[in-house]
């Protein structure tokens, strides 16, 4: 079955450490996205990529970095510069402009 | 900046009650409109979407939404809710010919038997 796989489902990180969240899709979608979900704040866009080897900052990119070396993969690194990294992170992809997204099941990151 | 407002943060209903969740957006141009649902412990799923044509859109599980351009609204409705509709509902807007979806803050719906 086609879909988006995010791993791990739960992740714990010590303060000061970088951590990378995985997102893989087998839908042959060109565009991929990373959102952060916090209670009462909805989903906020971190980074997005419309094509391999290209990506753009979203609304809350500070403290995060991404790469898009392959069409199927769009990993997100939460760096130690991110002041409040504890959140639920969602990866999504889309095949055509404006047609909506397919979401992964998310990664819950907790900084301890 | 474009934004999406969902004024109902938490809605509590009994089974068989009717549901209407509000969604307003701020953008004067052409938009595509979406409602997503997130059931407890599950990923976000598309309920319905509007691109053009009939402003009354029917989605899965008996949901529908009406696009009222003059009011910049895209309210979600269901005539009779079920306990299984308990979930969080997100309205989202994408500007015409762009990829980015702008989400509202979500509405948590609890349905009691």
Q: pLDDT by residue for chain B (113 residues), tens digit each?
A: 778 999 889 999 999 999 999 999 998 788 899 999 999 888 899 999 998 899 999 999 999 999 999 999 999 999 999 999 999 999 999 887 677 889 999 999 999 99
Quote the CA–CA distance of B79 and B100 in Å, as a whole number.
Answer: 31
DSSP state, residue A71: T
Given this model, what pLDDT does residue B100 score?
A: 80
Given this model, what pLDDT does residue A42 score?
A: 87
Decide if A98 and B94 are in contact by the 8 Å CB cutoff. Answer: yes
Does residue A96 have a pLDDT over 80?
A: no
Given this model, what pLDDT does residue A40 score?
A: 81
Decide if A42 and B51 are in contact by the 8 Å CB cutoff. Answer: no
Which of B32, B102, B105 is opposite residue A40, by nearest beta carbon? B105
Decide if B103 and A43 are in contact by the 8 Å CB cutoff. Answer: yes
CB < 8 Å to B104, chain A: 42
Using CA of residue B9, residue B53, residue B39, residue A63, what is the dihedral sign? negative
Q: To the nearest whole angstrom, how far is the Cα of B101 from the nearest Cα of chain A?
A: 7
CB < 8 Å to B98, chain A: 97-98
Which of B4, B42, B98 is opposite residue A98, by nearest beta carbon? B98
Residue A97's pLDDT band (cuts 50, 70, 90): low
Decide if B42 and A105 are in contact by the 8 Å CB cutoff. Answer: yes
Which of A33, A48, A104 is opposite residue B43, by nearest beta carbon? A104
Given this model, what pLDDT does residue A98 score?
A: 61
> Dihedral through CA B64, CA B73, CA B37, CA A75, nearest 10?
140
Q: What is the mean pLDDT of chain A?
A: 92
Residue of chain B minimizing CA distance to A90: B43
Residue among B24, B111, B26, B40 nearest B76 (CA): B24
Quote the CA–CA distance of B70 and A78 in Å, as a whole number.
Answer: 41
With tokens 């943060």, the residue in question is: B9
Decide if A42 and B99 are in contact by the 8 Å CB cutoff. Answer: no
Pairs of CB atoms within 8 A across A/B: 63
């Amino acid at each position: 079955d086609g879909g988006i796989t995010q791993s791990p489902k739960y992740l714990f990180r010590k303060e000061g450490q970088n951590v990378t969240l995985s997102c893989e899709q087998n839908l042959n979608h060109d565009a991929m996205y990373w959102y952060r979900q916090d209670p009462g704040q909805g989903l906020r866009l971190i980074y997005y990529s419309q094509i391999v080897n290209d990506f753009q900052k979203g609304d809350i990119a500070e403290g995060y970095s991404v790469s898009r070396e392959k069409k199927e993969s769009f990993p997100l690194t939460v760096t130690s510069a991110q002041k409040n990294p504890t959140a639920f992170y969602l990866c999504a992809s889309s095949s055509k402009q404006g047609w909506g997204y397919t979401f992964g099941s998310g990664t819950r990151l907790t900084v301890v | 900046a474009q934004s999406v407002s969902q004024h109902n943060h938490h809605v509590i209903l009994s089974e068989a009650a009717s549901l209407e969740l509000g969604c307003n957006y701020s953008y004067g141009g052409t938009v595509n409109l979406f409602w997503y649902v997130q059931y407890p412990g599950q990923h976000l799923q598309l309920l319905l979407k509007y691109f053009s044509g009939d402003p009354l859109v029917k989605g899965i599980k008996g949901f529908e939404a009406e696009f009222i351009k003059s009011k910049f609204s895209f309210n979600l409705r269901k005539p009779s809710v079920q306990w299984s509709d308990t979930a969080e509902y997100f309205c989202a807007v994408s500007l015409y010919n762009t990829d980015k979806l702008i989400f509202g803050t979500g509405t948590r719906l609890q349905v009691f038997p």
